[in-house]
C-alpha cells in the first residue's frame, strides 16, 4: 500500500510538498521520476508502505527490465504469485518479489487485458515510453482511491485531495456546491464528485489512456469489470452445494489475503463478519494472530450504543489471538478530532471508529489489518435486504400517498416505513439513501440488472453506492493516514462472483441472519457470536458531542441556507441528543473547511 501522484504540464510541481502530503500513506520510502514529454514535463511521485518485498527492489517509481514502462502503484495483488508463475512459463525473468513488478511485466505481456486478471485492490499510473502513452486503472470496487484533475494546461492524478492541494492543482480551487449538498443530504460526497469542483474520482473497474500528442483533456476510458448478471436457481445446485462452495471460496480469499512479508492482524468486533475472518485467518497462521477492538468508557454509553469488547474478547480467547482493546473517552476523541478530519481527506459522517482503532493498531507496530467490510453487502446482512425479500415474496401493502413523499419529510413524521408499501427497489433504495437512477449516486442499474430480483438489484446498488462512497473510501483514507494497510476479503473477486450468482432464496431464513455465512463457517465460532442479533457498530457521539466546543467556522461563510440549517441542527441536538447527526456533520465539515480555507474564497 502506498500513495501515488502523477502530473503532466508545462511547469513542474513542488515535489517535497506532495511527498510530505503522502507521508502517512507511505512512511517507508519515497521516490520520484520525471521526463520531458511533448510540450510538458511528466512527473511520477511515490510514498511507499512496504508490505511485499521489503528490500530496495520494491522501490517506486519502478521501471520494467527493458526500460519501456514506468509505474507508480498503490495496492496489493493477491493473485500475484499465480500471475508470476504464468509469466515465468512464458519466459519472463523477475528481479524482485514485489507485486508491482508483476503488474509491469503483466502489462507488457497482456496490455489492458491484464486488469481483468488482477484479483486485488489497486490504483496505478503507468507510462509507456514506446507509445508515449499514460494508462490509469482502478480496482473493481474502488477500494483504492484515484482522483484526477484535468484542464487545458495539463492533468494530475493522486491518491488523495491533500496531494493535489500540495501540488497547487487545481490552480484556483473552488468548492463544489453540488457536492456540498450531497454531503449534507447523504453524509458523504458521492462519486465521481469531490468537494473540489475541478477534481473527480476516477471510476472503479475502469482503465483510461492518454496519448502525449493529444490535448490534456482527451482520455479514452473503458470498463474492464462488471458484476455478474447470470444467476443460478435451486435447480442448478442444492443449498448444501452452495454452502460448501462458499466455505471453499472464503477460505481461498482469506488465504490469499494473508500474503505479506509483514504480520497481518485483524479488526475484531463482536459481530459475525469479523469473527468469521479471524477464524479463517487463525487456521492458516503459524503465529498467534493480533486482533484489535474498540470500546468506550461506561459513562459515555448512550442510546443505541453497545460496547462489544466482551464479545470480541470471547472470539479472541477462542482462537488464542494476541488481543488488544482500545477504550476511548470523549476527551481523547476530542483531542484527535482535527487529525481525523485531516485523515478523512473529504468530510464524511463515517470513519471515526476505523481511524481510532487503526491508530491503536499502528501504534502497536501493525502495518496490515483485515476488516469485515463488504460482508453485509454480499451476504444480504442489512435489514433492508430482509425487507426486500419479504416484500418480494409477500403481497405488497396497499398503495398509500405517504410513499411518494421525500425521505426527509417521511423521517420527520416517522413514516419512513411507509415507502416499503411499494415493495420496489426505488422505495428500498431511498430508505438506504441509495439511488436506482443516475443521480445523486451515479450507480444506475443496467438493463440486465433491472431484470434481476429485488434483493439482487439492491445488492448491486449497495456495492456501488454506500459501500464504495462511504465505507471503503473512508476506511482507506483513515487507515492509510496512519500508515496501515486495510484488506477486505469479503470483496475477493471470486467470492463476490460466486455469491452474486447464487439464488437470493439461499440468503434468507426467518430469525437466522446470513445463513450462508453461518452454515459455511459458523461451526468454527463460539456460540455467543452466533446468538447475537444483527446490529450496526455505533459510536457514542451523542454523549461525546455534549462536551465539545462549537466549531470555530461561521456557517455564514457558506451563504444561505447554511446558517439556518446549522442552527436547526444545533437546536435539534440540544433538545434530542440522539438526533445528533446534523450537528456531527457540521463539526466534521467546519473542521475540514478550516484546513482548506481557499475553497471559501471562490
Give the domain CATH number at 353: 3.40.50.620
Read off the C-alpha cell for 92: 519472463
419: Cα separation from own chain's centroid: 29
**Do the beta carbons of residue 160 and residue 477 sit within 8 Å?**
yes
Strand pairing class (206-211; 133-138) = antiparallel
Domain count, the chain: 4
Q: Which of 439, 5, 459, 76 is nearest to 257 (CA)?
A: 76
Q: Which of 117, 112, 49 is nearest to 78 (CA)?
A: 117
Answer yes or no: do 529 and 558 share one domain: no
Cα–Cα distance, 359 to 41 (Å, whole number): 37
Residue 231 lies in a domain: no
Listed residues 441, 464, 487: the one ending a domain? 464
Answer yes or no: do 29 and 172 share one domain: yes
Range of the domain at 156: 2-223
Answer yes or no: do 87 and 140 share one domain: yes
Answer yes or no: do 557 and 413 share one domain: no
Q: What is the pLDDT of residue 426?
A: 67
Answer yes or no: do 56 and 161 share one domain: yes
Judge whether residue 549 has pLDDT over 90.
no
Listed residues 537, 563, 578: the one ending a domain? 537
**Do the beta carbons of residue 311 and residue 273 sit within 8 Å?**
no
Distances (CA, A) of 387 to 391, 564, 594: 6, 36, 42
Q: What is the pLDDT of residue 486?
A: 97
Answer yes or no: do 131 and 191 share one domain: yes
Q: What is the pTM (predicted TM-score) of this model?
A: 0.92
Q: Is 529 left (phi over 0), alpha (psi -120 to 50) or beta?
A: alpha
Read off the C-alpha cell for 409: 419529510
Q: Is 541 exposed, middle or buried (0-12, 13-18, 19+ CB in 10 A)?
A: buried
Q: Is 413 exposed, middle or buried (0-12, 13-18, 19+ CB in 10 A)?
A: exposed
Q: What is the pLDDT of residues 417-464, one digit of tens each?
A: 444 444 466 666 666 666 555 344 445 788 899 889 989 998 998 999
Residue 404 lies in a domain: yes
Q: What is the pLDDT of residue 417?
A: 47
Residue 234 lies in a domain: no
Residue 229 lies in a domain: no
Listed residues 464, 496, 528: the one ending a domain? 464
Answer yes or no: do 130 and 37 share one domain: yes
Spell 356-388 as b/e; 16+ CB within 10 A means b.
Answer: bbbbbbbeeebbbbbbbbbbbbbbbbbebbbbb
Q: What is the pLDDT of residue 442?
A: 46
Q: What is the pLDDT of residues 457-502, one digit of tens each?
A: 989 989 998 999 999 999 999 999 999 999 999 999 999 999 999 9
Answer yes or no: do 323 and 385 share one domain: no
Residue 74 lies in a domain: yes
Answer yes or no: do 244 and 156 share one domain: no
How do the residues of the chain divide into helix, strand and coil, expressed in percent and rounded to 5? Answer: 45, 15, 40
Q: Is 159 exposed, middle or buried (0-12, 13-18, 19+ CB in 10 A)?
A: buried
Answer yes or no: do 327 and 337 share one domain: yes
Looking at the chain, the whole-number percentage of residues with pLDDT higher than 90 is 72
Spell 198-235 as b/e; 16+ CB within 10 A means b.
Answer: bbbbbbbbbbbbbebeeebeebeeeebbebebeeeeee
422: Cα separation from own chain's centroid: 31
Query: For position 63, which CATH number holds?
Result: 3.60.20.10
Residue 266 lies in a domain: yes
Q: What is the pLDDT of residues 256-310, one digit of tens each?
A: 999 999 999 999 998 999 999 999 999 998 889 999 999 988 766 666 677 889 9
Answer yes or no: do 146 and 60 share one domain: yes
Answer yes or no: do 68 and 148 share one domain: yes
Residue 228 lies in a domain: no
SS3 579: coil
Q: What is the 3-state secondary structure (H, E, C) of 253-310?
A: HHHHHCCCCCCCEEECCCCHHHHHHHHHHHHCCCCCCEEEEEEECHHHCCCCCCCCHH
**Do the beta carbons of residue 480 and residue 414 sit within 8 Å?**
no
What angle (nearest 5°) sits at the alpha carbon of residue 578, between those of residues 577 and 580? 70
Residue 558 lies in a domain: yes
Read off the C-alpha cell for 381: 446482512
Amino acid at each position: 500500500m502506498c500513495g501515488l501522484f502523477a502530473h503532466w504540464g508545462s511547469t513542474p510541481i513542488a515535489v517535497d510538498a506532495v511527498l510530505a502530503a503522502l507521508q502517512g500513506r507511505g512512511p517507508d520510502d519515497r521516490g520520484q521520476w520525471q521526463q520531458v514529454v511533448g510540450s510538458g514535463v511528466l512527473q511520477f511521485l511515490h510514498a511507499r508502505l512496504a508490505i511485499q518485498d521489503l528490500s530496495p527492489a520494491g522501490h517506486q517509481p519502478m521501471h520494467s527490465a527493458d526500460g519501456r514502462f514506468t509505474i507508480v502503484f498503490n495496492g496489493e495483488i493477491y493473485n500475484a504469485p499465480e500471475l508470476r508463475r504464468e509469466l515465468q512459463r512464458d519466459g519472463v525473468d523477475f528481479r524482485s518479489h514485489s507485486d508491482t513488478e508483476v503488474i509491469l511485466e503483466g502489462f507488457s505481456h497482456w496490455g489492458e487485458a491484464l486488469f481483468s486478471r488482477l484479483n486485488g485492490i489497486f490504483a496505478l499510473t503507468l507510462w509507456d515510453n514506446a507509445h508515449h502513452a499514460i494508462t490509469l486503472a482502478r480496482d473493481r470496487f474502488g477500494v483504492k482511491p484515484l482522483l484526477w484533475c484535468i484542464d487545458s494546461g495539463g492533468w494530475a492524478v493522486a491518491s488523495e485531495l491533500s496531494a493535489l492541494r500540495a501540488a497547487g492543482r487545481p490552480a484556483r480551487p473552488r468548492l463544489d456546491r453540488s457536492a456540498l449538498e450531497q454531503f449534507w443530504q447523504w453524509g458523504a460526497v458521492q462519486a465521481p464528485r469531490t468537494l473540489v469542483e475541478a477534481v473527480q474520482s476516477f471510476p472503479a473497474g475502469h482503465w483510461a489512456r492518454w496519448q502525449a500528442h493529444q490535448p490534456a483533456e482527451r482520455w479514452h476510458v473503458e470498463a474492464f469489470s462488471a458484476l455478474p448478471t447470470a444467476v443460478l436457481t435451486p435447480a442448478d445446485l442444492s443449498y448444501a452445494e452452495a454452502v460448501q462452495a462458499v466455505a471453499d471460496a472464503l477460505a481461498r480469499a482469506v488465504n490469499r489475503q494473508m500474503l505479506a512479508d509483514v504480520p497481518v492482524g485483524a479488526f475484531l468486533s463482536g459481530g459475525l463478519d469479523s469473527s468469521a475472518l479471524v477464524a479463517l485467518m487463525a487456521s492458516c497462521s503459524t503465529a498467534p494472530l493480533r486482533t484489535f477492538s474498540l470500546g468506550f468508557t461506561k459513562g459515555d454509553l448512550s442510546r443505541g450504543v453497545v460496547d462489544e469488547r466482551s464479545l470480541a474478547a470471547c472470539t479472541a480467547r477462542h482462537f488464542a489471538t494476541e488481543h488488544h482493546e482500545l477504550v476511548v473517552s470523549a476527551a481523547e476523541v476530542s483531542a484527535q478530532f482535527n487529525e481525523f478530519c485531516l485523515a478523512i481527506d473529504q468530510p464524511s459522517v463515517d470513519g471515526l471508529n476505523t481511524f481510532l482503532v487503526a491508530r491503536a493498531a499502528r501504534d502497536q507496530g501493525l502495518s496490515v489489518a483485515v476488516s469485515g467490510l463488504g460482508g453485509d453487502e454480499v451476504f444480504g446482512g442489512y435489514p433492508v435486504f430482509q425487507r426486500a425479500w419479504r416484500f418480494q415474496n409477500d403481497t405488497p401493502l396497499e398503495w398509500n400517498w405517504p410513499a411518494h413523499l421525500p425521505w426527509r419529510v417521511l423521517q420527520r413524521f416517522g413514516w419512513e416505513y411507509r415507502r416499503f408499501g411499494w415493495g420496489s427497489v426505488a422505495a428500498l433504495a431511498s430508505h438506504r439513501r441509495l439511488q436506482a437512477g443516475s443521480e445523486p449516486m451515479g450507480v444506475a442499474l443496467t438493463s440486465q440488472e433491472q431484470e434481476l430480483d429485488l434483493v439482487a438489484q439492491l445488492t448491486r446498488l449497495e456495492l456501488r453506492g454506500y459501500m464504495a462512497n462511504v465505507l471503503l473510501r473512508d476506511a482507506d483514507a483513515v487507515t492509510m493516514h496512519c500508515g496501515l494497510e486495510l484488506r477486505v476479503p469479503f470483496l475477493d473477486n471470486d467470492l463476490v462472483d460466486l455469491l452474486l450468482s447464487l439464488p437470493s432464496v439461499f440468503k434468507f431464513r426467518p430469525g437466522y441472519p446470513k445463513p450462508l455465512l453461518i452454515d459455511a463457517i459458523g461451526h468454527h465460532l463460539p456460540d455467543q457470536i452466533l446468538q447475537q442479533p444483527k446490529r450496526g457498530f455505533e459510536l457514542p457521539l451523542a454523549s461525546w458531542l455534549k462536551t465539545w466546543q462549537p466549531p470555530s467556522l461561521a456557517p455564514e461563510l457558506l451563504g444561505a441556507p447554511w446558517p439556518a440549517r446549522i442552527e436547526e441542527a444545533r437546536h435539534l441536538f440540544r433538545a434530542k441528543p440522539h438526533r445528533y447527526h446534523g450537528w456531527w456533520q457540521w463539526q466534521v465539515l467546519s473542521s475540514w473547511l478550516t484546513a482548506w480555507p481557499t475553497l471559501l474564497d471562490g
